[in-house]
Amino acid sequence: MATATPTVSDLLAAQDAAEALIVLGWPVAPAGDDLELWRIGDFEMTDDDLIGLATRQGIQPAAGLVQQAMAREIPRVGGLRPKTEITDAEIEAATDAYMKDEGAPPFVFSSGHQIDVGRAIDMHPQAKKLLADETIAPGLRRTMVKTAVIMGFPVEG
């Protein structure tokens, strides 16, 4: 049986669920490049499984209309990965640069796109909230910076 291609709304709802679960202390991370599988500890979950878990935890994930409209018009960094315009190594490098220096200039990808990681974090409420907490473990801090990069809107250079 063929699976339907997830809509932008589905992808954003799963991302919202992941972010909300992270805030509650769940160790959620993308399990692959396509953001359609999620890892929680040793378990892998689909978007639907993750949304179901979030719902059982009392979270009602729903992407905002502004996010949906922006996603239709401007691709996110994560949306440029399947097109090979931006590589995983570049996403890691952008994350590393910000982790070393929060005041780092915008990161420039080889495609010419660039992202201001600090601004991407500011536009990502869960990342902004968690990163403001100095007691958050370094691994979770890195995960939130990387999530903000992937969900961020790059500018063409």
**Residue carrying structure tokens 């315009």:** 85
Query: What pLDDT was estimated at residue 97?
Result: 96
User: In this structure, what token pair is assigned to residue 154?
Assistant: 């790059």
The residue ranges of every structural domain in the chain are 7-73, 75-157
pTM, 2 dp: 0.54
Confidence of residue 78 (pLDDT cuts 50, 70, 90): confident
Other Cβ atoms closer than 10 A to 33: 14
